[in-house]
């Protein structure tokens, strides 16, 4: 399995849109906390075609542009490839309905891909506030202003703006976002502007080796087109500890392309670009979320505000990875502890439980728990071995449904 992380600098710092200033842990969410992470030497330096760090500047004390209030988005509709017309054997030219050149795909699809710019308030030294700006891409999938992008492009953003290819800029609202699928849905109010809506294709019609065109906003430069082929249909990789099955392409992808579109030669949107592996020894390995999965997740986000059926233990976890944090929390082992349990929750967990294993699978990080839960549904039962007061206990835990945005 290929391990890929979102947009890492060579020194391991994150280059995507930053999280909002640290808040106290919230109930009802499995907590991903690493107070001081252990140093890791990577054999491959990996980066994502994701939220590109555009700059850091002093905080403007004026209120940001108010985001619009809009009605609910319509479900995203998928359309198959057109049926090619007959081929003229004398000229080998396919009549209308056939595939297009890269230039024709670009002309047909470029206006459906937008720049997504974000700002997040961060606190520096001496409690001085700054605004950190980021940029990524998005694809218009609804005439009313619905746009698909990546979760990591908008994660933690305080304000989001969308810029069309003609330079028109709109404030956007976040409809909902899902970190596991790395899909987010945002909305703009186009008012009298007629938007170019992408024709959304179907994963079943994507073929290995067929032409692929990437359109996005690399390095914050604006609309950029690169081409290649579909290199693999379902590549298993891991990003931020989350296993994903992605489409692979050799079309060039750079930071800022995340959230942009992967199109086929019929001008159909077949994937949402989200990752790239890069090193001096690696070329042409980019990834996109297959369109059927992206649409399934996006439609649930539009309809419910979250992805239904996801399993959750409904407690917060704390990950201890070094001596200093172990001393701070007065524990004697590295690993994962139960940090808090909701008062209203009927569970066998207690605060301070050290997680040894879940269903006999050893647990050493919160990512291990997240990966294991992805193989379960709400309502399933798991056996969790814990150490409590230096005694080993086995708990039977019924998994609840993860409803983060409700």
- Can you tell me the distance from the alpha carbon of 195 to that of 377, in angstroms, rounded to the nearest whole number? 38
Is the model's pLDDT at 178 over the cut of 80? yes
Half-sphere exposure in the Cβ direction for 146 (13 Å, CA): 23
Comparing 98 with 278, the larger pLDDT belongs to 98
Q: What tokens were used for 393? A: 């206990």
Catalytic residue among 73, 112, 152, 227: 152
What is the mean pLDDT of the segment spanning 298-322? 92
Nearest to 291 by CA among 217, 165, 199, 153: 199
- Can you tell me the distance from the alpha carbon of 403 to that of 311, in angstroms, rounded to the nearest whole number? 9
- Can you tell me the distance from the alpha carbon of 196 to that of 91, in angstroms, rounded to the nearest whole number? 33
- Can you tell me the distance from the alpha carbon of 190 to that of 73, in angstroms, rounded to the nearest whole number? 13
152 three-class SS: helix
Return the minimum-mean-pLDDT range out of 48-57, 218-227, 371-380: 48-57
Is the model's pLDDT at 390 over the cut of 50? yes
- Can you tell me the distance from the alpha carbon of 380 to that of 359, in angstroms, rounded to the nearest whole number? 12
Active site residue 152: yes
Highest mean pLDDT: which range of 67-76, 197-206, 213-222: 197-206
Beta strand pairing call for 224-239 and 2-4: parallel
Q: What tokens were used for 392? A: 């080993």
350 three-class SS: coil
Q: Are 378 and 399 in contact (CB under 8 A)?
A: yes
Active site residue 258: yes
Reported as a single tens digit per residue, the pLDDT across 58-98 is 333 344 444 456 667 788 989 889 876 665 555 555 445 67
Half-sphere exposure in the Cβ direction for 48 (13 Å, CA): 37
Helix and strand numbers, DSSP H then E, in the chain: 5, 26
Percent above pLDDT 70 for the chain = 76
- Can you tell me the distance from the alpha carbon of 123 to that of 130, in angstroms, rounded to the nearest whole number? 6
**3-state DSSP of 286-321:** EEEEEHHHHHHHHHHHHHHCCCCCEEECCCEEEEEC
- Can you tell me the distance from the alpha carbon of 137 to that of 261, in angstroms, rounded to the nearest whole number? 8
pLDDT at residue number 319: 95
Q: What distance separates the 2 farthest-apart alpha carbons in the chain?
A: 83
- Can you tell me the distance from the alpha carbon of 174 to that of 183, in angstroms, rounded to the nearest whole number? 11
Reported as a single tens digit per residue, the pLDDT across 337-351 is 999 998 776 789 999
Catalytic residue among 133, 258, 325, 367: 258
pTM of the model: 0.74
Dihedral sign (CA 166, 172, 176, 182): positive
Nearest to 148 by CA among 251, 257, 294: 294
215 phi/psi in degrees, rounded to 5:
-125, 130
pLDDT at residue number 88: 53
Return the minimum-mean-pLDDT range out of 15-24, 121-130, 204-213: 15-24
Nearest to 163 by CA among 105, 221, 76, 231: 221
Q: What is the set of domains in the chain, with CATH numbers?
A: 2-23+38-304 (2.40.10.120), 311-401 (2.30.42.10)
Q: Are 212 and 263 in contact (CB under 8 A)?
A: yes
Is the model's pLDDT at 164 over the cut of 90? yes
393 phi/psi in degrees, rounded to 5:
-130, 150
Provide the pLDDT confidence category of residue 405 given band limits of 50, 70 and 90: low
Catalytic residue among 111, 178, 182, 240: 182
Q: Are 242 and 289 in contact (CB under 8 A)?
A: no
Comparing 217 with 64, the larger pLDDT belongs to 217
Q: Are 175 and 185 in contact (CB under 8 A)?
A: yes
Active site residue 158: no
Percent above pLDDT 90 for the chain = 55
Alpha helices in 17-123 (DSSP H): 102-109
């Amino acid at each position: 399995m290929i391990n890929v992380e979102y947009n890492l600098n060579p020194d391991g710092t994150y280059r995507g849109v930053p999280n909002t200033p640290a808040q106290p842990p919230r109930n009802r969410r499995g907590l991903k906390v690493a107070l001081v992470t252990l140093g890791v030497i990577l054999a491959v330096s990996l980066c994502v075609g994701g939220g590109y760090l555009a700059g850091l500047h002093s905080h403007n004390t004026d209120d940001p542009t108010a985001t619009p209030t809009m009605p609910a988005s319509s479900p995203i509709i998928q359309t198959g490839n057109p049926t090619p017309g007959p081929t003229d054997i004398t000229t080998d030219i396919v009549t209308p309905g056939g595939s297009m050149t890269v230039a024709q795909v670009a002309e047909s699809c470029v206006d459906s891909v937008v720049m997504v710019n974000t700002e997040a308030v961060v606190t520096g030294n001496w409690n001085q506030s700054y605004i950190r700006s980021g940029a990524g891409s998005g694809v218009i999938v609804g005439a009313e202003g619905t746009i698909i992008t990546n979760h990591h492009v908008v994660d933690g953003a305080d304000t989001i703006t969308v810029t069309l290819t003609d330079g028109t800029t709109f404030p956007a609202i976040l409809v909902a976002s899902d970190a596991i699928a790395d899909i987010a849905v945002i909305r703009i109010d186009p008012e009298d502007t007629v938007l170019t809506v992408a024709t959304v294709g179907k994963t079943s019609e994507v073929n290995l080796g067929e032409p692929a065109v990437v359109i996005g906003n690399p390095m914050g430069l604006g609309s950029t087109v690169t081409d290649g082929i579909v290199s693999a249909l379902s590549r298993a990789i891991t990003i931020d500890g989350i296993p994903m099955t992605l489409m692979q392409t050799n079309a060039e992808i750079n930071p800022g392309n995340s959230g942009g579109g992967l199109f086929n030669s019929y001008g159909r949107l077949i994937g949402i670009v989200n990752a790239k592996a890069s090193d001096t020894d690696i070329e042409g390995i980019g990834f996109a979320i297959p369109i059927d999965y992206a649409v399934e997740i996006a439609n649930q986000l539009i309809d419910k505000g979250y992805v239904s059926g996801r399993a959750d233990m409904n407690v917060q976890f704390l990950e201890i990875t070094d001596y200093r944090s172990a001393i701070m929390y007065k524990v004697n082992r590295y690993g994962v502890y139960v940090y808090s349990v909701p008062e209203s929750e009927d569970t066998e967990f207690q605060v301070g439980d050290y997680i040894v294993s879940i269903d006999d699978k050893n647990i050493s990080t919160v990512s291990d728990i997240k990966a294991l839960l992805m193989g379960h549904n709400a309502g399933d039962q798991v056996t969790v071995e814990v150490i409590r007061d230096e005694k080993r206990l086995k708990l039977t835990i019924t998994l609840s449904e993860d409803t983060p945005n409700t």
